[in-house]
Amino acid sequence: MIDNIHYASISAVAELLRKKEISPVELTEFMLNRIEAVDADLSSYATLCADYAMESAIKAEQEIAAGNYHGALHGIPIAVKDLCYTNGIATMGGLKVRRNFIPDFDATVVEKLRATGSVLLGKLNLTEGALSGYHPDFDIPNNPWGAELWAGVSSSGSGVATAAGLCFASLGTDTGGSIRYPSMANGVVGLKPTYGRISRYGVMELAGSLDHVGPMARTVLDAAIMFEAIAGVDNRDDTTLKENVPSIVSQLNGEIAGLKIGVDESYITEGTDPGLVAAIGQAVNTFKELGAQIVEVSMPESDPMELRNLWLPICGYEAAKAHADTFPEQADDYGGYLKGVLELGLSLSDSDYQSVMVKRAEYSKQFENELEKVDGVICPAGGYVFEANKEAQYGDAVAMKEIIKHFQGQFTIPADLAGTPGLILPCGFSEDNRPYALQLLGPRLSELNLCRLGHAYEQVNQWHLQHPKL
């Protein structure tokens, strides 16, 4: 049974653990062996915590044996992006200046996952400081669907490990699309929540007003299980919301009759791969057959470069504040791309920042007005998986143009500017076996309905059950 368990869902494995048909120790040993065998070619892990994972597995096994079962994550091996502080375990953030940093406390999300009895396998690789390029001292994760394919940014290690069966779910962060791009690129489910739904306390900051933490998994149900475990108010993060976290898992029954899905044909199709457009069109038909109402919407002007020009000064200004302890004093230890963005941030005055924040508010209002008309707007997840040059990903802004030109930021940036949620899920494959993904964008606090829609879609297709052959 355990030989083929690495691609199983959390919900399925949880039932086996609850019934004591497998043990957390057996499962964790299997996953650690798989990581050792497979990840040498994928480089998804920055730090493997084998001893710590086994200690956690032994504890979980003892608790379950004693009848003290905590729930769906008890004994489940998971991993987190290496931005999340872990007490006594290196947290590098893809940064040379943080290479030797070992926190003395856990991030709130890590603390909450520990409380579920889950087993932390390790920390996952990412881009430098969670921006778009990598520092030359760090590995670039390889997409398990093809080593020549882009693995997404910045939560690339999270996407790769989840897709490759090297953890049952992971945590990512999203500032301009960094949960959604790697979910799309690696063919997994990603949930970027409403801003403030999940605490950022103890998560290394890129841009405080844009950063979101969220789960990445292989099914919508698994993402919902993770979301419920880590969401909620945190007195240590005053941006967290006081609204109650909905019980999503209990309401995923496949029923979506009457829910409204917004479609803007020009928004979906302009500049998008024709095969992906066709796959999303088929998904719209599926939702309609399941009882959802298809509603025409008109998304605000969405030129990718204009959106990037709105987003980048905010990110740069806030990132410069976040890196003030090490930049520009240790500028030589930074990679070219992040260095350039931090220099941009330092060049901006407070009034420059306030001016662009006004424009942000104006755009976000237009965006939210359309979202409020429906339960979810369907669109691409951020583009199409392309072939990516490793040298370019290690380069400065000039070199990175080769990568960034493929980003379809019109599908990712708006939800970060507005702080609204988005759900990514697989919706097919190209003729050469590259994953296709759709995105459902919802109004604030709509994670429940997004997951209801996504789960219902999963129940009538097999896309989420197809895995890379490693």
The 3-state DSSP composition of the chain as helix, strand, coil percent (nearest 5) reads 45, 15, 40
Partners of 426 in the β-ladder:
437
Active-site hit among 43, 81, 96, 446: 81
Beta pairing, strands 189-192 & 422-429 = antiparallel
Active-site hit among 56, 132, 170, 178: 178
Beta pairing, strands 260-263 & 293-296 = parallel
Number of helical H runs and strand E runs in the chain = 16, 11
Q: Are 468 and 410 in contact (CB under 8 A)?
A: no
10 Å Cβ neighbour count for 438? 26
Structural tokens at position 324: 């003030």
Active-site hit among 9, 154, 158, 170: 154
Helices (H), ranges, 290-324: 304-322
Instruction: Return d(Cα 445, Cα 209) in angstroms, integer.
Output: 17
81 is an active site residue:
yes
Instruction: Return d(Cα 1, Cα 21) in angstroms, integer.
Output: 9
Collapse the DSSP code of 282 into the 3-class scheme (helix H, G, I; strand E, B; otherwise coil) and give the result: helix
446 is an active site residue:
no
Q: Are 27 and 5 in contact (CB under 8 A)?
A: yes
298 is an active site residue:
no
10 Å Cβ neighbour count for 294? 14
Q: Are 288 and 453 in contact (CB under 8 A)?
A: no
Q: Which residues are catalytic?
A: 81, 154, 178
